[in-house]
């Protein structure tokens, strides 16, 4: 997810072979496809690499929907998708299937996320690693069928933003998996999660979306990471979220000129980093980028008024006040807060 945090946290197609999903049992009872997520959903990131139970975290926090991070290959050149690139945590019903069933029984769901900083900076993101478009599509299909999910998140950052061959492979593979899902009457939404400047997407991120359009990949949501700007400037984070989203809206209007303003807002996703972000070490007067409790209220209200599609943050495991003043921690926010206070503020955003 972030440009420096996860490096510490992480040590086909047209023809899909039956072996790709052999032994996989769908997480839903009887194999019935799940309904799509709510039109406006709060889905914070869950750090699957930290060994916690997503169902227990969902229940304790009140986050009914979780974006589960991350899926990647073990080594560059591989086409085998694994949770956090770890062979001990394969994509299999035995890994997370029972927990996902519990989350669904409580009225929620999950969104598997591919990539993240740790994968994107080491060329183990599936499209960076694997040069076979059919096998990339098969990896997406394996995740969809194993967990019976209706949404996939593509977290594309760092060097993955400039790997044009991989960007095009990803676009082609998404097009294939979307056609596969259509033939099976299976709902499937695709989220592109991208870093942003305070004024909107930079050119390499725009090029990622242009590739999707070129190769017929439908992008349902563009989810911008409104933190870690690394521009040596102090930011009021709620205000900067709004300017970044305005810039994104202008880009979406250019890329999708026939869509209405309301349709474009319904493509917008926002992911914050609660508390002090990775760039929070800041200057002499203190952290430059701190997403506060007040910011959470302001952004949630703004997101609700603008009917954006998705509200998220990095990460549920950080949503506690265990390390006041500490920037970029993987297990606490760095600000004074109650347990899961950011989640409690943002969760009411979810609605059909």
State the pLDDT at residue 21: 36
| Model pTM score | 0.92
- Please indicate, yes or no, if residue 80 is contained in any of the structural domains: yes
Rg (CA), the chain: 19
* 145: in domain: yes
Instruction: Please state the domain count of the chain.
Output: 1
Task: Give residue 232's pLDDT.
Answer: 85
Eight-state DSSP code of residue 85? T
Whole-number Å distance between alpha carbons of 36 and 23: 25
Please indicate, yes or no, if residue 329 is contained in any of the structural domains: yes
Question: pLDDT value at position 25?
Answer: 44
Q: What residue numbers bound the domain in which 151 lies? A: 6-349
Domain membership of residue 46 (yes or no) is: yes
Residue 1 lies in a domain: no
CA 284, distance to chain mean position in Å, is 33
In a domain, 77, yes or no: yes
Distance CA 69, CA 99 (A): 15
The CATH number that applies at residue 175 is: 3.20.20.80
Predicted pLDDT at 30? 37
Residue 303 lies in a domain: yes
In this structure, the strands spanning 109-115 and 65-72 are: parallel
pLDDT of res. 279: 85
**Is 165 inside a domain boundary?**
yes
Query: How do the pLDDT tens digits run along the chain, 352 residues long?
Result: 654 444 333 333 333 333 333 334 444 433 567 889 999 999 999 999 999 999 999 999 999 999 999 999 999 999 999 999 999 999 999 999 999 999 999 999 999 999 999 999 999 999 999 999 999 999 999 999 999 999 999 999 999 999 999 999 999 999 999 999 999 999 999 999 999 999 999 999 999 999 999 999 999 999 999 999 989 888 999 999 999 999 999 999 999 999 999 999 999 999 999 999 998 765 566 678 999 999 999 999 999 999 999 999 999 999 999 999 999 999 999 999 999 999 999 999 999 8
């Amino acid at each position: 997810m972030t440009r420096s945090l996860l490096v510490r946290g992480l040590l086909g197609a047209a023809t899909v072979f039956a072996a790709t999903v052999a032994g996989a049992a769908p997480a839903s009872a009887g194999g019935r496809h799940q309904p799509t997520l709510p039109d406006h959903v709060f889905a914070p990131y869950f750090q699957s690499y930290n060994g916690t139970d997503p169902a227990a975290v969902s229940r304790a926090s009140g986050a009914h929907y979780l974006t589960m991070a991350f899926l990647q290959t073990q080594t560059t050149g591989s086409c085998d998708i694994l949770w956090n690139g770890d062979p001990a945590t394969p994509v299999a019903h035995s890994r997370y299937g029972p927990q996902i069933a519990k989350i669904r029984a409580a009225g929620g769901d999950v969104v598997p996320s591919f990539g993240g900083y740790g994968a994107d900076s080491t060329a183990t993101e599936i499209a960076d690693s694997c040069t076979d478009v059919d096998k990339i599509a098969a990896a997406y299909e394996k995740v969809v069928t194993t967990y019976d999910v209706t949404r996939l998140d593509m977290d594309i950052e760092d060097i993955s933003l400039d790997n044009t061959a991989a960007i095009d492979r990803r676009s082609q593979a998404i097009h294939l998996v979307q056609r596969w899902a259509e033939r099976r009457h299976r709902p499937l939404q695709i989220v592109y999660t991208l870093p942003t400047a305070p004024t909107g997407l930079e050119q390499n991120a725009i090029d990622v979306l242009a590739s999707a359009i070129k190769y017929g990949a439908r992008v349902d949501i563009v989810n911008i990471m409104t933190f870690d700007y690394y521009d040596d400037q102090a930011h009021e984070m709620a205000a900067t979220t709004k300017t970044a989203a305005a810039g994104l809206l202008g880009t979406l209007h250019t890329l999708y000129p026939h869509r209405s303003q309301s349709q474009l807002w319904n493509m917008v996703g926002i992911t914050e980093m609660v508390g002090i972000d990775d760039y929070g070490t800041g200057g002499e007067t203190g952290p430059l980028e701190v997403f506060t409790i007040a910011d959470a209220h302001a952004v949630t209200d703004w997101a609700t008024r603008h009917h954006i599609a998705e509200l998220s943050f990095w990460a549920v495991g950080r949503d506690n006040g265990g390390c006041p003043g500490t920037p970029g921690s993987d297990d606490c926010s760095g600000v004074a807060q109650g347990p899961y206070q950011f989640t409690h503020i943002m969760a009411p955003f979810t609605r059909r």
